[in-house]
Structure formats: structure tokens, C-alpha cells
Structure 1
């Protein structure tokens, strides 16, 4: 399918205004920064731009009515075990779980003592305390517990991560076919899991759903009674595919507004495309075509900024800008799918026409040259963001090989940084633990981004992110991706200084726990001292002619 619009000869010269993206979003939301008058050097204006304009209804999306539904009390036969082994919440006293997993034997050994975690200033000593507070599941619709840390428990720079201390032992117990321990941990998780609590409660809810699904396919399934009190999530909990298109678009834009998870890699990618165009203009004063192959998760949100910048670059915009959306060529994964009926092409084409830019949008189901309709003389950029990390190692190599056969002028590769992931034994507990750790960073950062408040947009993006728990692939470190790219005949290209400084300025508008760490020819995004993702640039040893 091909959609094409050319410049209107009767249209007057477009003037930059604060509301210039309202047309693209059908007079609903604006998210293009006004710093594009000087897009990569005016760092002060980048830090303060507004991504969208909220009307009264949109502002109300962040407000939810508190629930009056009482919290169910567990059956008498399990009350003693659960209340004695539950981790302490942040609601009254700031306490933490001991670092060792909780077991029924430990609970019995301590009699009527209730387990309380170490104080935030003395993490790890795992004390017991008389008359401790009984943990409670937050009521539905409960708002976050404070703003400084996005509603998470703990104090100072230390954080409570009790959900993983329950989920990971449960995964291990399932693998070891230990039904009594699985039964106990499932009841504990069900007591605490909530899709509207803090990051721990939400992780417990998503993890509980994944573990019960996995349990159903094991030989001990019949020996375990899966709790049905409602702590977990229903199979139809919000995700991208099941979301109404209007809410889906609002969630995309709102998430870019409050979190740099995708916004920062998008900024670096756009700046790098402009950089490649500028370098090429030394040989061709005004290239005929710029062709960007989009294999990403932005669903159109990334591109208005680039289109606007192209019209303002010295030397003018290319005579034709082609955008080929080839998401179907990569394995599916979190954030890759859109709901039925969502199509950003018409909005983007109308916006391009309003700024007098000749834009053509195509769809491709593979990376075959014929499917992409490659043309000689065009600058070919493959923008692959957060799509190649799904599937197994063979799938990743096959995809990268297809990219290499295109012999592009530039490849933008952004992926989740799994650090040391890949060194495990490949067992279910090991892979589940790594996925749960990644999801924790996402949920913890979104809790801070939304100030601990619950809203429809937050539930949609978190529900989609939770699909990582069910995936086949495991996030790998940047070095492993570098080995693949070098082995296929690519060499890494450094980011321009202006692109890095603009990204730093953009990051200042987000929570202070985010940081950007340039490393060799890549830029890493980190949350609370832990890697989240990286963005890198690559060129083939022999460029396209």
C-alpha cells in the first residue's frame, strides 16, 4: 500500500507555531517540542517544552475515584501463615523484607512474631519485631504514597523490592515440582498483588498471572489450588491490542511526555538521521530522496519531530522523504502491536503537507529489497528500535543479516540493555527472574513518572510492558549486540556532540533518577544506577553507492 502527498503550490510558507501539531492529531493533542527553531543546540528551550495540551477531560484522566470495595479476608486455614510471612508495606512504617526468601518453616519457628524488614538505613539484617503492622493490599484506585519516589516504599536511596523475593522463589518451586511451597507463595502473592498499588504490588500482580499460566502446563498443576481472591490480573487486562485507538494514542503521547524510556532513543535516532543527511550533503548538495525504514515501537509518535527538523535544516529538505513501516519484518514483542483501526499515516501525511514537505508512507511485510522499493541515489536509514530483542538468538541473527543485505547508509539500533543477561542456565526461573527485574525498572520508573497516581494511560503502557514476562527472548547486554553487528560487517558510528547535548537537555525534564551514559559509540539510558536501554549507530564497511 502506498500513500503519497506532495507540496501544495498554493500553500503559503508555513510558520512555526506552538500548536502546529494539532492538525496531525485531529485537534486533540500536541507533543512536538517548540525548540525546533534550533533543534539541537538550544538546550534550555528543550528542557521546558510541552509535549501536549490537555483539555479538561484529559486532565481528569489522572484522577480516579477511590474504591469502596472492602478487602477480602483470606480463609481461616491460611490466615496465620499469610499474615506472619507477608512483607511489610509502606503505609504506616517504613520497613523492608529480609533479603532471604520466606518459607513456611521459618514462619512456624518464630511463633507469633511478625516478620519485619530492616530499616531503610540498615538494609539486609532481616529482623523480627513484636506487634508489627499487618500488610495490606491497597484498595482499587488507591493513589501513590508520595511523590519523591513515585509512591514506592523505603526511604533514602534504598528501595524495597519484596515482589521479586516472592515471585522468584515461586518460579523456582514450580520448576522443582514443590507443590506445598508453590501453594504457600501463591497465597502470599495473591494477598499482596494489586494492579493499582505501588510498583511492588503491580509487579506481584503481573508476575502472579504469568506464574499461574506457567503452572497450568506443569505436572504439579493438579496438586496446587490457585487462589481466586482477585489479587492477580484477568487475561483481558489492558494492553495495546485491546485498547481503544483514541486511548492508545493518548497513552503513547502521555508516556513520551512523562518518561524518557522511548523518548530519549527517539531523540537520538532523529538527530542521527539529520547528521547522516548533513554528511551526505557534502557530496550531494540536495539529495533526491531520504528513505527511512521504520522497525520500531513509536507508532508514528517519533516522526513529526524529524519532519519538522528537515524543513529547517540548512540547504532545505530532501525533494522526497520516504517512510517505510516494516514492523512486520521483526518478531512481535511488547509495544510492537497497535489496536485494530489505528493508523497514523493519514495524520502524518496531513502534517507533512502543512509544513510543505513531500512525504510518502509505505508498508512492507519484509526487508526484501523489492518489498522496500529501494531506489538508487536515496539515503537509506534503517531505524530498528526495541524490536530485534525478541525471539531466540537465531531470529536475531537472521534479522540483522537481512538488514546487512540492504547495505544501508546508516543503521540506528536501540535495544533493552540486559547487562549480564545471557549467562544463566536458560531455565524458567532464571529467565523469569531477569524479565521480572526488567519489568521492575519499568514499573518503578512509571510510578515516579506518574507521581504514583493511577490513570488509564498508565494502566495501558504497564499492561503492555508486562508482556515481557511471557516472551521467549531474554534481553542481552550492549556488548553482545556489538559482537553481532561487527561480525556482520558493520562498524560503529559515534553520535554528534549536538545530538548528545540535546538528549541531555531533554532528559532534564524527567525524574532525577534517570541518567544518560555515553559509552564508546553508544548512549545508554539508566534508571537508579541500573541500565535500561542503549542507542547505537552503525554503518556497513562498504556504503551504498
Structure 2
């Protein structure tokens, strides 16, 4: 976080015409742990209400982003000074969110070379940002994921849909495209082991990214061989015959290698149900705005690799495709648009974490470090390095339908599983049905969607 000393002279008075405010930044600095209204801030009912309100902080961040993009170092420095005072990284949820966005803007300035006088502030004095590189043990990662419904929601909905789709199949091939290292699979094995007709032969395939791929947190401190061995032992304990394979493949090239391997394997896998389980992974495939077509694929740059992947997937005639992702839109080409989108979506994890983890706990630091990683990637990075390119549910549905799939929805058993899981968490989490889809909510706001598809 940008550091200021008490002896450093504050910037001159700042007129934020966009907010209708004139802020006197020469006033004594308020303690970070007890922010106060600034002189000159309107206090009438028609005003923004509080200088520390989330809406006001969002507008200050937008002004700061515009200043950074315009290479207006003086204005950017003034805004950074204000935000540093009103948004401590250990404050309330809105302040912590604003602090993360502020750091992302400083990082962007240092990466792009704009506002060079700010690059000193980009030295990552707050070591907590390195927490996203923490490597979990398998047990710790499972416990960490169980803290919230963020991933468990998709697991519960998808597992119920998969179990229903593979009834009667003697062999099932699960292609697990997820970001949590198969943490969903043990529960699925339990479900399949309890089938009245007996468990199927189970095959699990996962992609492994190359060393150059930017891995989002959380990160598992096990090799894929060790992970596979643990899953095989668990399946054996449930009397489920299982195979586990890892195929080097990346979302950056639309999992091209994985698709080709699946196509070859299908030639010798008659009677096997092919399930493609996509959990928070498909938004890492570059969209149209990325213009990042792999050199190994000859096609116009205007064609999205997401379209390429979905059409290739359709050609495999899968038994079922489950698609679970965050219901957000981080695809804007301009940084201000992405900043607004991140601010108005990623307040949710900051708000929710206050309900289940105490301030200062190690798990909370890991949890929020992952959110900050996402914010920094959305705001500070461009091109191939910007991998957080979420799209809302409606746009994904259009893509999947255009590729030749139709939605099949979720049965009452799946809804019951999700509701039972949500009962284990705080009252702020909820479930709603939108046509054939399920949506996880926090205080009424969409968080994660779950959809299920079959070839049309």
C-alpha cells in the first residue's frame, strides 16, 4: 500500500468537480483506524452522505483511474493521498475493497509507466499481497473451500446433475475443468458409490497448465501425481474403480491439446458417459477483447477462443456439460469500466468474510489475498496477462446455445442438495432459480451461476 509519513507535506486543496466537492487536503491527517469527515464535505441530505461511503470511494477511484490513464501525476497523487486516508486496508469491507483497488491502480501506473512519480508507491510494502502464493495442503485446501458456498454451490449443483445424467452407464469419464484441484471429486465419488446398480468405472481427466501460466489462488502444494494418488486411494476406499490422467493443456489456447486427446480416446471408449465439468475455469479462456489467438491455431483474430472451445466440445457429443462461474462482467476494454465492475461485484466477498472469519485470522488473510489478486489482475493488467475475464450468465448462455447445446436445468434433488449446503452457512447466502439455471446470491445480489447443458 502507498506509504505516507506524517511529516510529508500534503497536496494542495483539491477540487473534485465530478463529485461536487472541494476537499481541503491541507487539514491534519485523520488516524487510519478512525476516519472522519473531511472539511468542505457537504452534509445535507441531498449530498453523498458520508465521505467514507462506498459510492463516494468508488467515484474517487474512478477519478484516480482517469488521472493515471491521462498521466496526470499531480491529480493522481492528490487522489491517492485522499484514498489512503479514508480506505485503510484493515478497515470495514468497503474500505478494504477500496484499498485493494487503490493498490491495483498504483500497480497499473508502475506497469504502464504513466505517472512515473508514483512508481515508488508501487513497491509492495504490504507483504500480505504475497499471501496468494500460499500453498495449501490437500486437507487445508478442502477446509478453506468449505468456508463459503462460493465453490461449494457449484459442486453441489453439478454433482447432483452428473449423478442423474450417468444413471445406468457402466463407465463414466469426468473431464474436470476447475480451479480447485479436484476438490469436488470426492463428494462425486461418494454419490456414484451409492448407486443402486453399483458404482461405474470412473475415469478422471484434468488439464495441467504450463509453468508460464498465471495460476489464480488458491494453490495446492501437491504435485499432480500426488493429487491423483490421493484420489485413487479415496476411490478404492469406496470400492470405485478409478483411473486418473493429467493432460498438459491451457485455457490460453482453448484447451486445444485436451480436446484432441479426448477425441482420440473416444474412439476406444464406446458406452462411456463423457461429462465435462467446468467450474470457474472457462473465463480464463481468452474472449474477443483479448485478441490472443494461439499461434498454433489459424483463424481470424475476431473469433473468440471461447467459441472455438465450445464448438470443439460439442463435436465430442458429451453426455452432459456443467458450466459454473461468477456472474460478473470484467470484459470492458477500458480500465474505468473494469474498475467499476470489480467494485460493484467484489464487495461481496469482503462483506461476506466478516460473517464467518474473525479479523486477523490466517484464513481470512488468505481469503482476502485471493480477492486482491483478482482485483489487481482486472485493473492493473492488459493483454494475455489479464486472465480474469468473467462474463455474465446471459452471455455465456448465448455462447453455449450458439455452439449447439440446449439447457436441461436442475431437478428438485439438485435444488435440495444446494439448499442443504447453504443451511451450513450464514443467512446472507441464498438460492434463486432463473428459468433452468440456479444462482447463488449474497443479500439478494447474484454471485455465482450454475447451468447444465446437453447437445441439442
Q: Same fold (TM over 0.5)?
A: yes
Tell me the alpha carbon deviations over residues 242-291 of structure 1, each in whole angstroms, 9 at most, x when there is no partner.
21333x751x333333210110111001101101012xx2xxxxx33111
Name 1:348's counterpart in structure 2: 231
Deviation at residue 187 of structure 1 after TM alignment? 1.9
Name 1:170's counterpart in structure 2: 64
Name 2:24's counterpart in structure 1: 107
**Structure 1 pair 234–516 and aligned structure 2 pair: CA distance change class (3 A):** same
1-structure distance, mates of 2:45, 2:361: 32
Name 1:438's counterpart in structure 2: 345
Name 2:287's counterpart in structure 1: 392
**Structure 1 pair 337–162 and aligned structure 2 pair: CA distance change class (3 A):** farther
**Structure 1 pair 381–333 and aligned structure 2 pair: CA distance change class (3 A):** same
Tell me the alpha carbon deviations over residues 110-136 of structure 1, each in whole angstroms, 9 at most, x when there is no partner.
9998359899xx98633589xxxxx9x
390-399 or 110-119, which deviates more: 110-119
RMSD between superposed Cα atoms in Å = 3.6
Deviation at residue 535 of structure 1 after TM alignment? 0.5
3-state SS in 2 of match to 1:376: coil
Name 1:244's counterpart in structure 2: 135
Name 1:206's counterpart in structure 2: 100
1-structure distance, mates of 2:444, 2:97: 20
Q: 1:126 aligns with which of 38, 44, 48?
A: 48
2-structure distance, mates of 1:171, 1:338: 34
**Structure 1 pair 350–482 and aligned structure 2 pair: CA distance change class (3 A):** same
**Structure 1 pair 414–528 and aligned structure 2 pair: CA distance change class (3 A):** same
Bigger Cα Rg: 1
Deviation at residue 488 of structure 1 after TM alignment? 0.6
**Structure 1 pair 371–115 and aligned structure 2 pair: CA distance change class (3 A):** farther
Name 2:381's counterpart in structure 1: none
3-state SS in 1 of match to 2:346: helix
1:314 is aligned to 2:196: yes
Equivalent runs, 1:141-180 vs 2, <5 Å: 160=54, 163-180=57-74
Q: 2:80 aligns with which of 186, 209, 227?
A: 186
Query: Which stretches in structure 2 are left out of the alignment for 5+ residues?
Result: 30-36, 249-256, 289-303, 379-385
**Structure 1 pair 349–228 and aligned structure 2 pair: CA distance change class (3 A):** closer
Deviation at residue 293 of structure 1 after TM alignment? 0.2
Tell me the alpha carbon deviations over residues 319-373 of structure 1, each in whole angstroms, 9 at most, x when there is no partner.
x1111112549x8663475446474222221111112111111111232343573
**Structure 1 pair 332–526 and aligned structure 2 pair: CA distance change class (3 A):** farther
Tell me the alpha carbon deviations over residues 372-421 of structure 1, each in whole angstroms, 9 at most, x when there is no partner.
733111000000111111232323222222322222110000111126x6
Q: 1:304 aligns with which of 186, 195, 211?
A: 186
2-structure distance, mates of 1:102, 1:347: 60
Tell me the alpha carbon deviations over residues 41-86 of structure 1, each in whole angstroms, 9 at most, x when there is no partner.
xxxxxxxxxxxxxxxxxxxxxxxxxxxxxx985335118969xx9x
Name 1:482's counterpart in structure 2: 397
3-state SS in 1 of match to 2:307: helix
1:326 is aligned to 2:207: yes
Equivalent runs, 1:27-106 vs 2, <5 Å: 74-78=6-10, 101=19, 105-106=22-23
1:508 is aligned to 2:423: yes
Q: How many residues align?
A: 408
Name 2:314's counterpart in structure 1: 404
**Structure 1 pair 291–336 and aligned structure 2 pair: CA distance change class (3 A):** farther
2-structure distance, mates of 1:416, 1:244: 23
Name 2:252's counterpart in structure 1: none
**Structure 1 pair 385–534 and aligned structure 2 pair: CA distance change class (3 A):** same
**Structure 1 pair 370–73 and aligned structure 2 pair: CA distance change class (3 A):** closer
Decide whether the 8 Å contact of 2:23 with 2:38 is kept in 1.
no
Which structure's residues are more often helix, by fraction? 2
**Structure 1 pair 350–164 and aligned structure 2 pair: CA distance change class (3 A):** same
